[in-house]
Amino acid sequence: MTSDTPRTPPAVRLRSDGAVDKDTLDYARTKIDAVVGRPGLPAVTGEVRIVRAGARHAELPWLATADLRVGGRQVVVVAEEATGREVVDTLRDRLHRQTDKAVHTGHDTHRTPPPPWRGGSRPA
């Protein structure tokens, strides 16, 4: 089934601290929206923060953190890298894995029912 109505954008806020350039923020917005706007994900809300350290001697001056709610589950991701694009790419990869994990947790259909002493049904 296809629809002509555009999907509403995810309610994920993007914030920055330090000398974060507009290109990095635009790149981050594109990548984050691609991850959290995938079909099949429940409602995603929260915040992503990108920070560039002011100290020139910092080995990994870029930090990105995400604190999201995917459906009823919390997803927290942290990434540190040397450049803005690298930190966004690392964050994207980790967000993708963690949101998938949050969606599929508790949906294991191969589990056996619990025994009667743990609240399972008793044989007739």
Q: Is the pTM here over 0.85, yes or no?
A: no
The pLDDT tens digits of the residues spanning 37-57 come to 988 888 899 999 999 987 777
Q: How far apart are CA 21 and CA 67, in angstroms?
A: 22
SS3 track for the chain:
CCCCCCCCCCEEEEEEECCCCHHHHHHHHHHHHHHHCCCCCCCEEEEEEEEECCCCCCCCCEEEEEEEEECCEEEEEEEEECCHHHHHHHHHHHHHHHHHHHHHCCCCCCCCCCCHHHCCCCCC
Identify the CA nearest to 65 among candidates 25, 14, 11: 14
- Is 30 within 8 Å of 4 (Cβ atoms)? no
Share of the chain above pLDDT 70, in %: 82
- Average pLDDT of 101-110? 68
| Residue 34: band (very low, low, confident or very high) from pLDDT cuts 50, 70, 90 | very high
Q: Looking at domain 11-104, which CATH architecture does it have? A: 2-Layer Sandwich (3.30)
